[in-house]
Amino acid sequence: MNLSKLVSVARGDAPADLVLKNAKIVNTFVGIIEEGNIAIVGDRIAGIGNYTKARRVIDLKGIYVAPALINGHVHIESSMLHPASYAQAVVPRGTTTVVTDLHEIANVAGPRGLQFATEWAKRLPLDMFLMVPSCVPATDMETSGATLTASDVRKALKLPNVLGLGEMMNFPGVIAGNRQVTDKIVAAKDRVIDGHAPSVTGKQLNAYLAAGIRSDHESTSVEEAREKLRRGMYLMIREGSSSKNLSELLPLVTDKTYRRCFFVTDDRTCTDLLLQGDMDAVVKRAIRLGLEPVRAVQLATINTAEYFRLYDRGAIAPGYIANLITTADLSQLEVEMVFYKGQLIAKNGEFLLPSVEITEGDLTDTVHIKPFDIEALRLTTNEESFPVIEIVPEQITTKKRVERVKKQDSSVIPDLEKDILKLVVVERHRATGNIGRGLVKGFGLKQGALASSIAHDSHNIIAVGTNDYDIFVAIKEIERMHGGLAVCAQGKKLASLPLPIAGLLSPEPLATVVNRFSNLEKTAASLGNLPPAPFTLLSFLALPVIPELRLTDKGLVDVLEFRLIE
pLDDT score at 394: 77
Using CA atoms, how far residue 157 sits from 30, 153, 332, 419, in Å, is 33, 6, 39, 46
Using CA atoms, how far residue 404 sits from 78, 214, 279, 387, 548, in Å, is 35, 43, 44, 9, 19
Beta carbons within 10 angstroms of residue 329's beta carbon? 10
**Cβ distance 125 to 96 under 8 Å?**
yes
Q: What is the distance between the alpha carbons of residues 31 and 34, in angstroms, rounded to a whole number? A: 10
562: three-class secondary structure by DSSP? coil
| Per-residue b or e along 42-70, where b marks 16 or more CB atoms closer than 10 Å to that residue's CB | bbbbbbbeebeebeeebebeebbbbbbbb
pLDDT score at 164: 97
pLDDT score at 445: 98
> What structural domains does the chain harbor?
3-62 (2.30.40.10), 68-313 (3.20.20.140), 374-564 (no CATH)
How buried is 119 (Cβ within 10 angstroms: 0-12 exposed, 13-18 middle, 19+ buried)?
exposed
pLDDT score at 160: 87
pLDDT score at 104: 94
Give pTM, 2 decimals: 0.91
- State the pairing for strand pair 192-195/162-168: parallel
pLDDT score at 242: 78
Instruction: Please give the DSSP secondary-structure letter assigned to residue 173.
Output: H
Among residues 448, 427, 440, 414, the alpha carbon closest in space to that of 372 is found at 427
Is the backbone peptide bond immediately before 383 cis, with ω within 30 degrees of 0? no
- Helices 83-90 and 111-121 pack at an angle, to 10 degrees, of 50
Q: What is the distance between the alpha carbons of residues 199 and 142, in angstroms, rounded to a whole number? A: 22
**Cβ distance 395 to 414 under 8 Å?**
no
Beta carbons within 10 angstroms of residue 387's beta carbon? 18
Rounded to 5 degrees, φ, ψ at 515 are: -60, -45
Rounded to 5 degrees, φ, ψ at 447 are: -155, 160
- Helices 83-90 and 510-525 pack at an angle, to 10 degrees, of 90
Q: What is the distance between the alpha carbons of residues 422 and 412, in angstroms, rounded to a whole number? A: 9
Instruction: For the chain, list residues with pLDDT below 70.
Output: none
